[in-house]
């Protein structure tokens, strides 16, 4: 019983000391990849990481500020950069290889994330000084981003070509979901890792979504006309595609088994594109003033001014 009573003050001291470290600011560096219509494995498109090409992994970086709102909850604001790309030449799917499209895209994202700490070790190493700790968290939030898909081989913007007959916005929204952890060292320094997956509201991170369009509908006076003719259908660049296979790409119509007429498929509009980052994070905690200390002990060390007695003259 005596040991328990002795530990109670240390519990409160630890609690209020930790309350001083509510903010941390830092940066991240790692890798980015994407899931969309270009590249992928031998099968038709599959969700999440099953259809990613690890060889297309590129750079990710960012900066963030995080505030601890409670024992289990933090709010993080971040700015992230991700470079993604894809190339049908790297796909194991023969149909994608024959389509022969490619792209690259620089994504600049502003996000707000709520993080929930589902596993904690408050005294990492058992030093009884509570200077080092471990936190594992899951998060979800909202994000807005700017992107601009370009050709991989010549860095020419694809959106102005309107390769599928309509324009799309280069400003979009996403829902990021996150899983990660960090270790706090000496109460001030944090190093961690997180995996963040973004579900977007666009299918045009790679400029591919629906069907080929008839080149005759494009005006020859359009400044993008020459680029459109070259980049809309790149199957003719290949030397190992038969005439019969080549007819499956570019603007061609075909009749299905039920007699319906269709235009050749260029992409899959039933799935929006998504992208992910895997980063190592570094941050520094900012020490604030403890309201508990100030309200309870601040006056102890203040010098007391002795009031001089005032005499009133009597006449």
**Chain centroid to CA 127: how far?**
36
Does residue 7 have a pLDDT over 60?
no
Query: What pLDDT shows up at residue 128?
Result: 67
The end-to-end CA distance of the chain, in Å, is 69
More confident residue, 64 or 11: 64
Select from 1, 38, 23 the least CA-distant residue to 266: 38
Domain assignments of the chain as residue spans, ordered by start = 21-290
pLDDT digits (tens, 9 = 90+) for 148-187: 999 999 999 999 999 999 999 999 999 999 999 999 998 8
**Chain centroid to CA 97: how far?**
28
Distance of alpha carbon 201 from alpha carbon 143, whole angstroms: 11
Query: What pLDDT shows up at residue 91?
Result: 87
Beta bridge partners, 176, equal 198
Confidence of residue 253 (pLDDT cuts 50, 70, 90): confident
pLDDT digits (tens, 9 = 90+) for 83-140: 999 999 988 888 889 999 999 999 999 999 999 999 998 877 666 666 788 999 999 9
Does residue 237 have a pLDDT over 60?
yes
Distance of alpha carbon 140 from alpha carbon 30, whole angstroms: 20
Q: Taking the domain 21-290, which CATH number applies?
A: 2.40.160.20
Average pLDDT of every residue of the chain: 85
Please name the residue that has the structure tokens 């070259």. 230
């Amino acid at each position: 019983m005596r040991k328990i009573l002795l530990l109670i003050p240390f519990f409160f001291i630890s609690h209020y000391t930790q309350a001083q470290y509510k903010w941390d600011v830092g940066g991240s560096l790692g890798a980015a990849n994407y899931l969309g219509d270009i590249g992928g494995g031998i099968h038709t498109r599959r969700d999440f990481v099953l259809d990613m090409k690890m060889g297309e992994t590129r750079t990710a970086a960012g900066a963030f500020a995080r505030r601890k709102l409670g024992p289990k909850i933090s709010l993080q604001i971040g700015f992230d950069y991700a470079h993604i790309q894809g190339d049908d030449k790297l796909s194991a799917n023969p149909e994608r290889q024959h389509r022969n499209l490619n792209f690259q895209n620089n994504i600049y994202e502003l996000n707000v994330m709520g993080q929930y700490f589902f596993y904690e070790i408050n005294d990492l190493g058992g030093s009884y000084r509570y200077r080092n700790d471990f936190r594992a968290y899951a998060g979800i939030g909202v994000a807005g981003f700017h992107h601009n898909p370009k050709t991989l081989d010549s860095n020419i913007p694809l959106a102005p070509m309107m390769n599928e007959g309509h324009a799309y916005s280069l400003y979009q929204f996403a829902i990021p979901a996150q899983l990660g952890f960090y270790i706090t060292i000496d109460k001030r320094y944090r190093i961690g890792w997180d995996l963040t997956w973004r579900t977007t509201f666009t299918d045009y991170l790679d400029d591919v979504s629906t069907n080929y369009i008839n080149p005759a509908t494009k005006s020859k006076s359009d400044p993008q006309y020459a680029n459109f003719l070259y980049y809309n259908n790149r199957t003719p660049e290949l030397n190992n595609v038969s005439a019969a296979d080549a007819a499956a790409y570019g603007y061609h119509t075909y009749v299905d088994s039920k007699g319906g007429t269709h235009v050749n498929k260029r992409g899959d509009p039933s799935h929006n594109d998504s992208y992910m980052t895997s980063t190592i994070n570094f941050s520094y905690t900012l020490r604030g003033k403890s309201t508990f200390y100030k309200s309870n002990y601040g006056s102890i060390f203040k010098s007391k001014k002795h009031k001089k007695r005032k005499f009133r003259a009597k006449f």
